[in-house]
Structure 1
Amino acid sequence: MGKSGRGDGRRGTLGNTLSGAAVALGCVLFLGAFLWGALLYQPYSVPTDSMNPTVKAGDRVLAERIDGKDVRRGDVVVFQDDLWGTVPMVKRVIGVGGDKIACCGDGGRVTVNGDPLDEPYLKDKGPDSQTSFPQTTVPDGKLFLLGDNRIDSLDSRVHLEEGDSGAVPRTAVQARVDAVAWPSADLGMLAPPTGFEQLPGGTSQPGPLRLLVTAVVAGAVLILGGAAYGPLTRRRTADTGRR
């Protein structure tokens, strides 16, 4: 009986040690990932339906804070330019400095440097909502932006009509959208942009949001599991004593 008691005690001490370690590791993962995410990401509310179906009016998105010089074609960016309005807007980068942009090429598609873009993210999965515009060269240090809902988007095409290049400075970019956080029906990472891979510079890789979410979930599981160990052990010990 005495040996059994000492064995139970040793197992209990080891269990408590492991439980404490699990809670400590869980706190590091949970808090570390949460704080890192708060530094890297910022939530935004999408103001219009111009990016439907990628993101819709009223969606809450998580966007990674980046420098405008790191933006590539295909990125969905949050930007603010006084010539476009007084609130942050969300559009997709179609062209960068030096690109020649026009519409429409083969199949009614936007062309970049003469090559028609394949844009499966467009509303209704096709280019039928495109409106023609003459070829324009994107100035260095600027971005040509279009909405995915081409029939309902005030974007670089509108500013072309006003007599400028239609582009915004890279410095106007605040963040790159990685995921939809709300509503739950649209929850998830944005699909990687396609159609730009053949162009110089390729496309951007998603930020570390998926890794951060995994770390937060793993940390929560470790914290709850470690915290539950003590009560479960005491209950099991009490049951054994009654028997």
Structure 2
Amino acid sequence: MDTDARHTERDRSSAPEDGTEEGSRSARAPAPEAGRTAWGRVALLGALCTVALLLFSAFVLQPFLIPSGSMEPTLRVGDRVLVNKLAYRFGSEPRRGDVVVFDGTGSFVPETPGDDSLGSLLRGVAASLGLGEPVETDFVKRVVGVGGDHVVCCDERGRIEVNGDPVDEEYVHPGDKPSQVAFDIEVPDGRLWMMGDHRSRSRDSRDHLGQPGGGMVPLDRVVGRVDWLGWPFGRLGSLDGTDAFTGIASAGIRPAGADRG
């Protein structure tokens, strides 16, 4: 009996009287279910943020990575610009001199079946967030002619004429001619004549004359207007406008006594 009593006392002394130590150990060890719940909340928050960014990019302001030098010196390779998708949403239309992003399907590139693969989807998401190069059908150029305009290259001083008026294009890359390719075109209503600022390195409307669409971009293919530079920080700010087309006659109308320069 003494032996039983000693065992009983030893067992009682080894356990805390109020169970505090055992309870604290249980409290310190996180339950597996709680960890999974926390990670689930983080994943849900990340998914919601991504969806919000994609919606904002789709309808309001889209980052766009400049992949080539066709718009130098205005835009440089690696620049990230912000495309204002509301610029032409409420009845406004692109104007001469605007720098715009557009879908060149049917005008700059032929119609092809869409790629619905996962890789294509991920590339599209990265492009829409400005994290990757744009899809092959997206381009950035400057509007030189709008619907009804008569655009000609070139006058006796080598300048492009719009509706009979010469255009002094200060934004053209230094050393480039306004165009080394002669053309004389009428822009159909609802379409745009696009040209890059680095004329010797830009494949634009001039390169698609004679092809289906004639290089003219439909208004409904315009994604938005480039209004701001978002990267690099040294060039952060709004995109400079141009007054090169100020005073150009409206399509089919020429002011009386206007000087052709």
Q: Does the TM-score normalized on the shorter chain lie above 0.5?
A: yes
Where does structure 2 lack aligned partners over 5 or more consecutive residues? 1-55, 110-135, 251-261
Q: Aligned pair 1:80/2:132, yes or no?
A: no
Q: Secondary structure at the match of 1:181?
A: strand
User: Does the aligned pair in 2 maintain the 1:44–1:61 contact within 8 Å?
Assistant: yes
Q: Secondary structure at the match of 1:151?
A: coil
* Equivalent residue, structure 2, for 1:186: 235
**TM-score normalised by the chain length of structure 2:** 0.58
Match of 2:204 among 148, 155, 166: 155
Match of 1:145 among 194, 217, 223: 194
Q: Can you list the C-alpha shifts for 1:17-71, whole angstroms capped at 9, x where unaligned?
A: xxxxxxxxxxxxxxxxxxxx87632111112110001011221001110337521
Higher-helix-fraction structure: 1
Q: In 2, Cα distance between the equivalents of 1:112 and 1:43?
A: 31
Q: In 1, Cα distance between the equivalents of 2:213 and 2:81?
A: 30
User: How many Å apart are 1:78 and its aligned residue?
Assistant: 0.4
Amino acid at match of 1:61: V
Give the share of equivalent positions with the same residue, in percent.
42
Aligned pairs for 1:56-75 (under 5 A) are 56-65=76-85, 66-67=87-88, 70-75=93-98
Q: In 2, Cα distance between the equivalents of 1:169 and 1:152?
A: 23
CA RMSD of aligned residues (A): 2.3
Question: Which of the two has higher C-alpha Rg?
Answer: 2
Amino acid at match of 1:67: Y
Q: Aligned pair 1:169/2:218, yes or no?
A: yes
Query: Which moves more between the two structures, 99-108 or 183-192?
Result: 183-192
Where does structure 1 lack aligned partners over 5 or more consecutive residues? 1-36, 202-243
**TM-score normalised by the chain length of structure 1:** 0.62
CA shift in 2, pair 1:78/1:199, >3 Å: same
Match of 1:118 among 162, 168, 172: 168
User: Does the aligned pair in 2 maintain the 1:108–1:127 contact within 8 Å?
Assistant: no
User: How many Å apart are 1:152 and its aligned residue?
Assistant: 0.2
* Equivalent residue, structure 2, for 1:42: 62
